[in-house]
Structure 1
Amino acid sequence: MLTLPSIPLGVHGGPDALGVPVHDFSTNSNACGPCPAVLDALQQADATRYPDPAYTALRAALAALHGVTPDRIVVAGSASEFIHRITTWARLHGCTQVQLPPHSYGDYAQAAQAHGLAVLRRSAKALVGMEGTDAAAPATLHWACEPASPLGTVDGVLSAWHGPTPPGSVRVLDCAYRPLRLAVNSTDPALPASAWQLWSPNKSLGLTGVRAAYAVAPAGAEGTVLALQGLAASWPVGAHGVALLEVWATPAVQQWVADCLPTLRSWKDRQMALCTQLGWSVVPGSLANYFVATLPTAQCAGDSSAQTASLLAALRQHGIKLRDCTSFGLPGAVRLGVLPPASQDALRTAWQAMHVGGP
């Protein structure tokens, strides 16, 4: 009898058993959204018919956005769906292990464990410039995120990824937060041409409830695109997902996202200052519309994870949800998506009402 591995369920932000949080800091959705043009397209989407199963027009629009040919575009049900699908493909084509950033989205590891792949994590102190240069290393599925989650920093491995990919290995760059990069005094790292790019624009559009994503294959990987399409269920993206992705590819919506960045930048500065006032220790270096802070409980004796969970549960009773970073390998820390000042003020009021250390 086949015994399937026991894989723990992923940890995610957003609505939970208590419903929709009034002030939800636990996701990284664009707080300036939803994008009006995309919302209008969703309301006009024709849900009475199947989409084109080949997504011909959609793939052409996304290809034009990225300056590639349509045969390099893979349409996906969501970023998470593509993570599981390309992990399946990698396993079928000889990959025996997955290499992850020091802290990362849980679906990378979850998909690997479901296929019995070894899960390795790069050390934050490793000489990442040497990553993937050993041609004799086992075939590996490599993951990176730009900017990284939860810390919002640049993954140092990207500089190494501009070199050739070792035979049999695959590199995938998760670009979920690339459009929401807020830093103004840093140079956006060039995306390595040898890596797959995974895009999930629902975050940038403030419409995370619409599940749709796509991947851009590196040049020369068109055969793998066909193989990945063969691994998908029919119509992985419905009419509403198609509408979202089609409008995402237009110049007007790209400009709308860009126009959100100054507002998000201002809100982020205010929110980081608030956390410092509350006695939290903000982790520096985030370039994105989210950041990590360490709660005062992390400096206390005892189990910081349990103490943090208790505080977050109390905040949840006030209608406020933060993302516990324990599953990211950062116990005692929380990730906060940037929200408007009214939500920040609600966080201040709730924290002070709880009389938890500090101000």
Structure 2
Amino acid sequence: MTITHGGPDHLGVPRWDFSTNANACGPCPPVLQAVQQADARHYPDPTYTALREALAGFHGVDAWRVVLAASASEFIARITAWVARDGGERVWLPEMAYGDYAAAANAWRLGPAGAPENAHLAWVCEPSSPMGVAEPLAQRVLTGDTVVVLDLAYEPLRLQGTCSMKGEALDAVWQLWTPNKAMGLTGVRGAYAIAPVRSRSDVLELERLAPSWPIGAHAMALLRAWVLPTAQDWLAGSREQLRRWKIHQVDLLLELGWRCLPSDANYFCGRAARSIDQASLRAHGIKLRDAQSFGLPGYWRLSVQSPPAQAALRVALLAQTETAA
């Protein structure tokens, strides 16, 4: 199976990595400290009682609504299996979306629904990837008995705007949270979902489909620490920094003739004035994410990075321009 993703590859970790959407201000100091001090000598509490209560308190929900997962991808696979096992046959995916939604649907032979209201399982991601905007058909998925998952992986890194689902609409869907991106620690795998308000029996079914101890000590430490006031204060400050960096990064690319699409998040898509030599960029220590795998050919998704990374990107792109001339 070919996996298309940003980040490290066979050449190792890129020095200047624009290909993943992790918080470029990270890692978050109190969360990093918690992960480094995690006690991996023992099994976690198999019920994760304290962790569930901490996450529930952070979100203001009952603890039974917290469903822990080994990662967002693991939850995507698990809830797809649950829907298929219960007779679901059709899935609705956004026009451009994270590839694991489709991969899980294909594994369980769920066919395309055509329209959101005809699906047994529907996916929404806000801010969306790769575009970083609201899903225009989000409200249409809130119909009938459709199982709706709202992927909020990038909500903590939203730099402007608000989620299109609020109040009762939000309580009617599965909210999938992946804090490792916001904390700048994507190598620590751990996620959780907030279940819909009237889904206690469904939660039990999903729990039965999970392996024992879905997350280990380091993921537990990350999830416990990310809800702390010190971590949330750091995150708020990092968003301010990312806003400033984003303005500069977009301006840099516009000066080089790129077309940059609007985005509410810490990443955006851009189209270069001429073709990009990926191998040459990689030789300069730079990696971008080709948006073709998302269904946006000709565009690149770039996360917002620090001024030194932006300077390196500028030098590498100018070198390609001079070579082409």
TM category (shorter chain) comes to: over 0.9
Selected match of 1:207 from 185, 199, 206: 185
Once the 2 structures are TM-superposed, how far is the Cα of residue 358 of structure 1 from its aligned partner?
9.3
TM-score (norm 2): 0.95
Letter in 2 for 1:278: L
Task: Tell me if structure 2 keeps the 8 A contact 1:113–1:119.
Answer: no
Alignment of 1:336-347 (within 5 A): 336-347=302-313
2:240 equivalent to 1:262: yes
Letter in 1 for 2:194: V
Alignment of 1:139-178 (within 5 A): 139-161=119-141, 163=142, 165-167=143-145, 169-178=146-155
| Residue 290 (structure 1) aligns with | 267
| Residue 54 (structure 1) aligns with | 47
CA–CA separation in structure 1 for the residues paired with 2:322 and 2:102:
34
2:290 equivalent to 1:353: no
Q: Deviations over 1:18-58 (max 9, x none)?
A: 00000000000001110000011011100000111111110
| Residue 125 (structure 1) aligns with | none
CA–CA separation in structure 2 for the residues paired with 1:261 and 1:121:
37
Once the 2 structures are TM-superposed, how far is the Cα of residue 255 of structure 1 from its aligned partner?
1.9
Once the 2 structures are TM-superposed, how far is the Cα of residue 356 of structure 1 from its aligned partner?
6.0
Q: Deviations over 1:182-213 (max 9, x none)?
A: 01xx4443432211000000000000000000
SS in 2 for 1:351: helix
CA–CA separation in structure 2 for the residues paired with 1:105 and 1:117:
16
Task: Tell me if structure 2 keeps the 8 A contact 1:212–1:242.
Answer: yes
Selected match of 1:280 from 238, 251, 258: 258
CA–CA separation in structure 2 for the residues paired with 1:318 and 1:117:
42
Cα distance, 1:10–1:121 mapped onto 2, change above 3 Å:
farther
Selected match of 1:24 from 17, 40, 48: 17
CA–CA separation in structure 2 for the residues paired with 1:108 and 1:290:
20
Unaligned segments of structure 2, at least 5 residues: none
CA–CA separation in structure 2 for the residues paired with 1:94 and 1:313:
46
CA–CA separation in structure 2 for the residues paired with 1:26 and 1:187:
24
CA–CA separation in structure 2 for the residues paired with 1:358 and 1:204:
38
Letter in 2 for 1:336: L
| Residue 93 (structure 2) aligns with | 100
Task: Tell me if structure 1 keeps the 8 A contact 2:127–2:163.
Answer: no
2:155 equivalent to 1:189: no
Which shows bigger deviation, 249-258 or 313-322? 249-258
SS in 1 for 2:179: coil
Which shows bigger deviation, 190-199 or 200-209? 190-199
| Residue 235 (structure 1) aligns with | 213
Task: Tell me if structure 1 keeps the 8 A contact 2:252–2:314.
Answer: yes
Q: Deviations over 1:123-173 (max 9, x none)?
A: xxxxxxxx42xxxx4x52000001011000111223345x5x412x20000
Q: Deviations over 1:336-355 (max 9, x none)?
A: 00000100000010111122
CA–CA separation in structure 1 for the residues paired with 2:5 and 2:112:
20
TM-score (norm 1): 0.86
Task: Tell me if structure 2 keeps the 8 A contact 1:205–1:257.
Answer: yes
CA–CA separation in structure 2 for the residues paired with 1:355 and 1:244:
43
CA–CA separation in structure 2 for the residues paired with 1:159 and 1:81:
26
Once the 2 structures are TM-superposed, how far is the Cα of residue 10 of structure 1 from its aligned partner?
2.8
Cα distance, 1:353–1:181 mapped onto 2, change above 3 Å:
same
- The aligned length equals 322
Once the 2 structures are TM-superposed, how far is the Cα of residue 256 of structure 1 from its aligned partner?
1.5
Cα distance, 1:262–1:140 mapped onto 2, change above 3 Å:
same
Task: Tell me if structure 2 keeps the 8 A contact 1:175–1:198.
Answer: yes
Letter in 1 for 2:312: A
Q: Deviations over 1:81-102 (max 9, x none)?
A: 1000100001011210110111
Once the 2 structures are TM-superposed, how far is the Cα of residue 252 of structure 1 from its aligned partner?
2.1
Once the 2 structures are TM-superposed, how far is the Cα of residue 119 of structure 1 from its aligned partner?
3.2
Unaligned segments of structure 1, at least 5 residues: 1-7, 123-130, 298-306
CA–CA separation in structure 1 for the residues paired with 2:135 and 2:322:
34
CA–CA separation in structure 2 for the residues paired with 1:63 and 1:350:
46
Identity of aligned residues (%): 52
Cα distance, 1:157–1:73 mapped onto 2, change above 3 Å:
same
Once the 2 structures are TM-superposed, how far is the Cα of residue 220 of structure 1 from its aligned partner?
1.1
CA–CA separation in structure 2 for the residues paired with 1:187 and 1:22:
32
Once the 2 structures are TM-superposed, how far is the Cα of residue 121 of structure 1 from its aligned partner?
6.4
CA–CA separation in structure 1 for the residues paired with 2:113 and 2:133:
20
Letter in 2 for 1:142: A
CA–CA separation in structure 2 for the residues paired with 1:324 and 1:207:
22
